[in-house]
Structure 1
Amino acid sequence: MLELVGVRKTYQTGTLTVEALRGIDMSVQESDYIAIMGPSGSGKSTLMHILGCLDVPSAGVYRLAGEDVGQLDERRLADIRNRRIGFVFQQFNLLPALSAWRNVELPLVYAGVPRARRRERAIAALGLVGLEDRIDHKPGELSGGQQQRVAVARALVTEPALLLADEPTGNLDSTSTQDVLALFAELHAQGRTIVLITHEHEVAEAAARTLVIRDGEIVDVIAQEEMRAAARRSGAAAAAAARLTAGLGRVAR
């Protein structure tokens, strides 16, 4: 599916050279579900841009479906973005004046798909995410979780080989977060290839494995069961801290 070998990315800011990625080696097979987790400034967003062909490496090789992305011109990169990759972002980026199905059909408009076929495919994509009864609702008439499902349907409508989700639960409450993660699990069970970018243990544990990135380098690869154990420990520590804070408050009173 995709492979990165020795990928580096540097940016020039005045006289300062910033090395955002420092020799990334990773691969994703067809039907994989992986998470890339790291704190702010770790390089995960830069890595997402390269995986999504929104940027190209400064050095190293990125192969997507056998093609060396670094050797492609902008027109070919745009074609890959439009046809092979479905994007889901933290911001839903839905047009408020359009219904759900009209939002979902937009990638097909740019792809030149005939009007009647666009509606058919958009409604089918909304069915995949469980919103077949909301096709005529506008974003303002939907919950946050439902809006993100519309965004996922829009990402799926071109039938991409890769679903790339960048902090997809960042604007959602805990219930909607679990709903979206359950949807990703269902899509993965259907054979979809998913790469999920996050900074949260609880979100990363949904993936089959997690690549931990820090200071532009992948420093660990963690299996799902290890991630779940780490999330349980994190949750227990947070609960203990909350109880301690509450106890200190009672003592102070």
Structure 2
Amino acid sequence: MGDAVLALDRVPADDFGFTLGLRDAVGGDRLVRLGQCGHLTLEQAAPVRTFRWSRGLGHFPGWWWSVTTGHHVGYESWLERDHVRALDYDRDVVGLASQPFWLHWNDGRRKRRHAPDYFARLADGSGVVIDVRADDAIEPKDAEAFAVTAQACEQVGWRYRRVGVLDPVLAGNLRWLARYRHPRCAGRAEIGQRLREVFASPAPLLATAERAGDRIAVLPALFHLIWQQELVADLAAARLGPTTLVTPAGSVGGAR
């Protein structure tokens, strides 16, 4: 983390009252002044909280293998898993870490802290801090923490998002396509090339794919190309099916 990381008991809050708590790869905890952390690679940060699995917790934590990063990213609920999946699909996202830091502040009465759910690095080099919480599950203390986190992000030049339940159609399509995200699903190079040829202009999914070969061989490769967004479909309009219109990425009037 370089010179910006100081000893835990030596770091005062910055001018805005914020410090960030980080955890290194061997489990050591450090604090960083907010104003000194803009250059840190938080998309590679170790989770500051432990992901726990035990009976009766009432939530469903796990690890998502990210094709974007090549390693696992943690989630603490199925809603978080939906958003990790969507972030993995997003071509603008080039790095992703779960529970990347503790944000520490004093609310005037007591010391507070909040661990955002994700930090995403975008292709343009900017950073996005993300909290995942359904609209109907936000308590007053949560709303305060989210507002403070947004303020801290503004000071350091990161974007902040609080996201809720994904559209069910989009979530379902991403859940299906994610089965084919691994590079092994691309199949033989000639299959991918043939699919690019038959979908050179907008065409229905199943009948057109069968022009490229046997469906058992070509459909996994087709879904992989859609996940990679070399071929695209409108994933928010309707569930993927035989008549879904598939088109090359970037084509005029094509689905995004």
Q: Please indicate, yes or no, whether the TM-score normalized by the shorter chain is above 0.5.
A: no
TM-score (norm 2): 0.21
Of structures 1 and 2, the one scoring higher in RCO (CA 8 A, sep 6+) is: 1
Give the number of the structure whose residues are more often helix, by fraction.
1
